[in-house]
Amino acid sequence: MASGPARWIGPIADSDSAAALRDWLVLGQWENIPVPRQLDRHQRWTRDSHRRN
């Protein structure tokens, strides 16, 4: 069972992004392995949102 904070992932805009997400999920070590680079744009946005508020 996964634990820890939720992760924003995306955008998933094409087959390559979907494949990257699938491969990351199959590994099953979400707390230890970072989200693939092309899928972490939302993480950067949410991490910096406190500066804009």
Tens of pLDDT, residues 1-53: 666 677 788 889 999 999 999 999 999 887 788 888 888 877 654 455 445 45
Q: How far apart are CA 52 and CA 50, in angstroms?
A: 5
Q: How far apart are CA 18 and CA 12, in angstroms?
A: 6
Q: Where are the beta strands (DSSP E) in the chain?
A: none
What does the pLDDT read at residue 38?
A: 84
- CB neighbour list of residue 36: distance below 8 Å, 6 or more residues apart: 20, 21, 23, 24
What does the pLDDT read at residue 9?
A: 86
Burial state string for 15-40 with b = 16 or more CB within 10 A and e = fewer than 16: eebeebbeebeeeeeeeeeebeeebb
